[in-house]
Amino acid sequence: MLSAIVRFVVVGAVTFFGLLTVTFFIGRVVPIDPVLAIVGDRASASAVAAARQQYGLDLPLWQQFAIYLKKALTGDFGTSVLSSNPVMQDILRVFPATLELATAGTLIGLLFGIPLGVLAAVKRDSLIDQIVRVIGLVGYSIPIFWLGLMGLLIFYAKLDWVAGPGRIDIAYEYTFTPITGLFLFDAAIQGEWGAFADIFSHIILPASLLGYFSMAYISRMTRSFMLNELAQEYITAARAKGLSETRIIWGHALRNAAVPLVTVIALSYATLLEGSVLTETIFAWPGIGMYLTNSLQNADMNAVLGGTIVIGAVFIGLNLFADLLYRLLDPRTRA
């Protein structure tokens, strides 16, 4: 196990180094001059040259990369042009909103995706199986921004069942005190149930859309894993012993299918953390996706590259954690 952990650390470090390398060279090849974004396109040539020297952009490329690597490893991604704050400070401010939204979406995907996948596998080729597969196909096929717009039109504008864009109503914005940045958790531990209801009303629609996307993926993979397990000999032996179908499906087949399903869930969660840009933009959700969108539109490359590195690091960490958990749950993979 120790050697496995060491290998995971080495693989994670190499992957993260590759991520830093790619983001550095992307920042250098895009047709945006970071100096002009800082000093403005009307600055004099001497001011541009002074800024270029101040930020080390006049150095050879390998020296720029060495400086960039050293700063990135310490969490220094420069200063945001938009906010004039350190990029890491901005990311720490907006990331809890994305974390809360992605977590809620993943929980919804798990709550519905696993039972639907199990049901589709048990009722293979039946009408129920076809319905579940169509639901998953729709979740993969329809663009999430279109679903978001339709959701706002129907459930907010027409039916008034949920709150509109944003994370919290202005009536609570100046009375509610965030602690961790996870608004639902903060409101619950403070007993602010009015604010809790308002926050829940804001998050339920975007979280449900992300949950539907997650459910489509999880249900499809659960069905595939369950079909594989139900075809194994130990299932036939269990039926020969007279065990009930409920115990066979939920106590034996799903238990074994849950091992590879851990990786699927981790990948789904990571995808929601790094792929909710459109959802956050549509719902004016002040998370890292909206932060990156605004930064990209304003040529704030420090913020764009810093956010990309943080999201990539989270993705790498979740993948490595899933692989390690896979080894813990399945002794056969330790050999």
Instruction: Say if residue 21 is in the same domain as residue 167.
Output: no
In a domain, 234, yes or no: yes
pLDDT > 80? residue 237? yes
Instruction: Say if residue 187 is in the same domain as residue 222.
Output: yes
Of 168, 197, 196, which is closest to residue 285 (Cα–Cα)?
A: 168
Retrieve residue 22's tokens: 């790619």
The count of domains in the chain is 2
Q: Dihedrals φ, ψ of 211, to 5°?
A: -65, -35
In a domain, 82, yes or no: no
pLDDT at 103: 92
Instruction: Say if residue 132 is in the same domain as residue 223.
Output: yes
pLDDT in tens, 271-291: 888 767 788 888 988 888 888
The CATH number linked to 307 is 1.10.3720.10
CB 168 within 8 A of CB 178: no
The set of residues, in sequence order, having a beta carbon less than 8 Å from that of 320 and lying 6+ positions away, is: 8, 11, 12
The set of residues, in sequence order, having a beta carbon less than 8 Å from that of 218 and lying 6+ positions away, is: 109, 110, 113, 114, 117, 261, 264, 265, 268
In a domain, 196, yes or no: yes
pLDDT at 37: 64
Instruction: Say if residue 114 is in the same domain as residue 251.
Output: yes
Query: Of the ranges 104-108, 171-175, 190-194, which one carries the lowest mean pLDDT score?
Result: 171-175
User: 41 lies in which domain range?
Assistant: 2-73
In a domain, 116, yes or no: yes
The set of residues, in sequence order, having a beta carbon less than 8 Å from that of 227 and lying 6+ positions away, is: 121, 124
In a domain, 259, yes or no: yes
Select the more confidently predicted residue: 97 or 275. 97
Instruction: Say if residue 7 is in the same domain as residue 113.
Output: no
pLDDT in tens, 82-94: 787 888 899 999 9
Query: Domain boundary at 35, 51, 73, which?
Result: 73
Instruction: Say if residue 150 is in the same domain as residue 219.
Output: yes
Summarize the confidence of residues 209-221 as an average pLDDT: 90
Instruction: Say if residue 177 is in the same domain as residue 144.
Output: yes
Instruction: Say if residue 177 is in the same domain as residue 223.
Output: yes
The set of residues, in sequence order, having a beta carbon less than 8 Å from that of 30 and lying 6+ positions away, is: 301
Retrieve residue 311's tokens: 């999201």
Instruction: Say if residue 57 is in the same domain as residue 102.
Output: no
Query: Of the ranges 55-59, 124-128, 217-221, which one carries the lowest mean pLDDT score?
Result: 55-59
In a domain, 78, yes or no: no
Instruction: Say if residue 100 is in the same domain as residue 122.
Output: yes
Of 314, 306, 296, which is closest to residue 102 (Cα–Cα)?
A: 314
Question: Distance between CA 2 and CA 206 in Å, rounded?
Answer: 41
Select the more confidently predicted residue: 14 or 40. 14
In a domain, 169, yes or no: yes
DSSP string for 3-43: HHHHHHHHHHHHHHHHHHHHHHHHHHHSS--HHHHHH-TTS
Summarize the confidence of residues 248-274 as an average pLDDT: 84
Mean pLDDT score across all residues of the chain: 83
The set of residues, in sequence order, having a beta carbon less than 8 Å from that of 121 and lying 6+ positions away, is: 129, 222, 223, 226, 227, 230
In a domain, 317, yes or no: yes
